[in-house]
Amino acid sequence: MRILHSELKLSEIKPLPYFATWPKIKSAIGLDARIEKRIAEILDQMTLAEKIGQMIQPELAQLTPEEAGRYKFGSALNGAGITPNGNRHTNAHEWVATVDAYWQAVYEAFADRPFHIPFMWATDAVHGHNNVFRATIFPHNIGLGAARSPDLIRRIGKATALEISVTGMDWTFAPTVTTPRDYRWGRHYEGYSEDPEIVYAYAAPMVEGLQGDGANNELTDPAHVIACVKHWLGDGGTMHGIDRGNCRSHEDVLRNIHAAGYYSGLAAGAQSIMISFSGWEHPDNYDHSPGLGAPYNYKMAGSRYLITDVLKNQIGFDGLVLTDWDAHFEVARCTLGNAGYVINAGVDVLMVSARKAWQSIYELTQQQVHDGIIPMARIDDAVTRILRVKMRAGLWDKPRPSERSYAGREELLGCAAHRALAREAVRKSLVLLKNANGVLPLARAQRVLITGSAANNIQKQTGGWTLSWQGADVTLEDLPGASTLAMAVRSVVGESHCCVDSTLELINTDAFDVAIVAIGEDSYAEMRGTIRPWHSLEYAKLKTSYARDLQILRELKQRGIRIVTVFFSGRPLYVNEEINLSDAFVAAWLPGTEAVGITDVLFANEHGEVAYDFVGRLGHLWPRRKHSVAINRRPPHIPHFVVPDDEQSAVGEHEPLFSYGYGLTYKSTSAERNVDLIPLDEMQTHEYVPSATQSLPILDHVNNMYRWRIMGHNTWSGVDVSFSEPCDALTMHTEPINYLGVRDALKIRFKGNVSFIFVHYDVAVDYRSFIATGAIQFDVKVLVPPDAPLYLACHDDYPSQPV
């Protein structure tokens, strides 16, 4: 394992304390007797329906201003990539007008009441105000973690809050304070580090940047917004890195590894917490209403233990707790239209996407209160918390969104100062892994060939959560002012000294002094980015285009040109050969739009001197072997730490290539810079290829490994279809029938709304061997001709994933 002396000098990151029990956290925003009194007065006058309205948070695409007013909703969100009228280029004025229309409708709805409750708008500003055209795009958290600078994080939080204010919004679902422990998880990059120390050090400054200084009431300023630490708890600790999977960690690991960011984030005054889609499979995570229907499946949204007992009672969090997108539906005891179990677990706000679902929850929750299933005290606790957060954010005193100080100030979105900050963040996030013979810094007068799949690819730099959910379809037109690495290099060396050839079609490379090879992962967000069980961490085996990157490096090496590789990725991957073939190798993570921050460091200044040194340090262990999927630094703050079953010991077989804190600089010694040839891991990736001669029974209720589910528009989960009894979902009715006396079949009735019926398998399976010979065979009998289109589709995953 390569260790540098410099790794010991991480002075800005303070050691993390150990907690033997759940600590009580004192928030910078304490209880205020006047606020509590006002809340109690309003609560007293509210009807049950008004209370439930506060607790439901629909989504822009499934809510009109008129509905927001009619139901007196407390908040709404715009989900990833969802914009007014589907226009990705919506400007600040249009965003403000949209938010304003909802605010106004809710305001008017209280006209005949002796009180009013302001509406608030939430968004996912997770690396800048990333759903908004022209906003500054900062590096994703994984890169920020490498920068090791809490001060930088605070300034990014502040800039992001200002840009959110420009669009009239009140609340961001950030920071993500996950501590991802398995590189296969597709949300790995949303975490600052695999190590709780960095997450702990960063959560507070990010919350302070977003919300301002809690003690000085800065959250009420027009330039600050409500922060949300997410996703409570153990989202980064699921078995095999499965997105939304179950974490089986010991409680001590939850408390000292996965909860670290919450302690500092809440101490800094974070006012909201989002509950994870994942579960905690542990007997302490008890079923709070046993005996009613299916057994509780440990999903966090239903965890009374971790939400009420731990978070609210022991830690003492007094802000609001909300579910993730339709996450009530992950809980066995809930349906899309019934969130009673989740409310009883302690959730205050339900993020519900589909109109039919929120309509149902709105009615059913009231009924459940009347029937005594949900205690009125629970509803009052939820609404008290919601109103408390709104009051602490000064929402009663703030004018309507369009009249706020920064609203509509388009010139602040992506302004020069914020872009300069993003560029600084990029510079600081780069980790230099190798610099043989001092190939870097590059002289400006060089003739540069720039190649590789990421040479001129903005999506690989910006990653998921960038104007779209998966980020895979954004273009340079969507990101004005952005530069790809090729553009940045060209602006340094000049058009005539630079040739961009992403796939290396050039035959003659003699005309160049150096090749910059930009390679890296395609953009992804949740679900799509998770590495499947039949893959290892081997970059070149993940996709054919990544294999081509390795081929390019081999060809260039043969031609004898000096190679500087820049690697964009949402996680460390196995790249031993790529490093061996390169003279210099830079881990650039997902830097965003400001590739100029990369050239700032790669190139010397006009006088041939170092312009900026590398300061980034690994916030991870870098794997030496293809199967070192879950290696992590041994947490020094946990006494007698035992590596959990779902992680791998970093000693012995899985000893990493580079240690936590590793990162070369221009001052590193030549022995440090010239990384020796790294032995290749010869282990062949185990490929499970089922025989294509077998048939796969899909609609077979006896041996059914598949689940049939019904799904509404815009939701990612579904209602389970039963093969023994009828199933009545909001959008569809199904009935098991015997078809032609031989087969199991379903009779399906669509109820007039967009609806899907689908079959899926919970675990990803490799069916590539069926591609050439396979056919999916089933019969459809149309009993009543449809009056709207009916589509058949086949996905390899949700969302569908290109190879």
Please say which residue, 173 or 263, places its beta carbon nearer to ligand BGC. 173
Residue in 122, 124, 143 with CA at minimum distance from that of residue 422: 143
Kind of pairing between the strands at 727-728 and 732-739: antiparallel
| 79 scored as a contact of ligand BGC (CB under 6 A) | yes
Q: How far apart are CA 739 and CA 40, in angstroms?
A: 60
Smaller CB separation from ligand BGC, 79 or 150 = 79
Task: Tell the smallest beta-carbon distance from residue 122 to ligand BGC (Å).
Answer: 8
C-alpha neighbours within 13 Å on the C-beta side of residue 523 = 22
Query: In the annotation, is 526 catalytic?
Result: yes
Which tokens go with 558? 């043969």
Least distance from C-beta 172 to ligand BGC, angstroms? 9
CB closer to ligand BGC out of 259 and 657: 259
Burial class of residue 496, CB neighbours in 10 A (0-12, 13-18, 19+)? exposed
Tokens of residue 274, six digits: 């989002």
The nearer residue to ligand BGC, 173 or 539, going by C-beta atoms, is: 173
Among 39, 60, 76, 80, the residue binding ligand BGC under the rule CB under 6 A is 80
- Let me know if 411 is a catalytic residue: no
Least spacing, CB of residue 29 vs ligand BGC, in Å: 22
Pick 169 or 369: Cβ nearer ligand BGC: 169
Nearer to ligand BGC, 90 or 648 (CB): 90
Quick one: 79 or 168, whose CB is closer to ligand BGC?
79
Residue 479 CB, nearest approach to ligand BGC (Å) = 20
Q: Is 318 a residue that touches ligand BGC (CB under 6 A)? A: no
Catalytic hit among 59, 208, 309, 526: 526
- Residue 173 CB, shortest distance to ligand BGC, in Å, is 4
Binding string, 557-596, against ligand BGC, x = CB under 6 A?
----------------------------------------
Residue 799: cis peptide before it, omega within 30 degrees of 0 = yes
Contacts of the segment 701-709: beta carbons below 8 A, 24+ positions apart: 701/736, 701/744, 705/761, 706/759, 706/760, 706/761, 707/759, 707/760, 707/761, 707/762, 708/734, 708/746, 708/757, 708/758, 708/759, 709/757, 709/758, 709/759, 709/760
Q: Per CB under 6 A, does 600 bind ligand BGC?
A: no
| Closer by beta carbon to ligand BGC, 197 or else 526 | 526
Q: Minimum Å distance from CB 555 to ligand BGC?
A: 41
Copy the structure tokens of residue 712.
Answer: 């509404």
Tell me, residue by residue from 136 to 175, as one string, x for binding to ligand BGC by CB under 6 A and - for no binding: -------------------------------------x--
Q: Which of 50, 195, 287, 324 is close enough to bind ligand BGC by CB under 6 A?
A: 324
Could you tell me the smallest distance in angstroms from the CB atom of residue 363 to ligand BGC?
24
In the bound state with ligand BGC, the residue whose beta carbon lies nearer, of 353 and 483, is: 353
In the complex, least distance from residue 90 CB atom to ligand BGC, rounded to whole angstroms: 17
Lay out the sheet containing 272-275: strands in order across.
228-232, 272-275, 320-323
Token reading at 58 = 């629909």
Strands 320-323 and 272-275, how do they pair?
parallel
- Tell whether residue 526 is a contact of ligand BGC (CB under 6 A): yes
Distance from CA of residue 598 to its chain's centroid? Answer: 24
Q: Dihedrals φ, ψ of 231, to 5°?
A: -115, 115
Return the H-helix or E-strand segment holding 748. strand 743-750
Strand pairing report for 120-123 and 272-275: unpaired
Buried b (16+ CB within 10 A) or exposed e, 32-61: eeeeeebbeebbeebeeebbbbbbbbbbbb
Interface size with ligand BGC, residues (CB under 6 A): 8
Residues 6+ apart with CB under 8 A from 367: none
Shortest Å distance, C-beta 362 to ligand BGC: 20
The yes or no reply on residue 189 touching ligand BGC (CB under 6 A) is no
Residue 237 interacts with ligand BGC (CB under 6 A): yes or no:
no
Q: How far is the CB of 716 from ligand BGC (least distance, A)?
A: 7
Residue 124 binds ligand BGC, judged by CB under 6 A: yes
**What is the DSSP secondary-structure string of 334-357?**
-BTTB-HHHHHHT--BEE--SHHH
Question: Tokens in use for 529?
Answer: 């980015």
Q: Toward ligand BGC, which CB reaches closer, 265 or 661?
A: 265
Facing residues of 748 across strands? 734
Residue 307 token pair? 């939400």
Spatial CA neighbour of 584 closest among 604, 560, 567, 607: 567
Task: Identify the CA nearest to 32 among candidates 400, 274, 313, 393.
Answer: 393
Catalytic residue among 195, 218, 324, 326: 324
State the Cα–Cα distance between residues 565 and 559, nearest whole angstrom. 16
Residue whose CB is nearest to ligand BGC in the complex, by number: 173
Given the rule CB under 6 A, which residues bind ligand BGC?
79-80, 124, 173, 230, 324-325, 526
- Active centre residues (catalytic): 324, 526
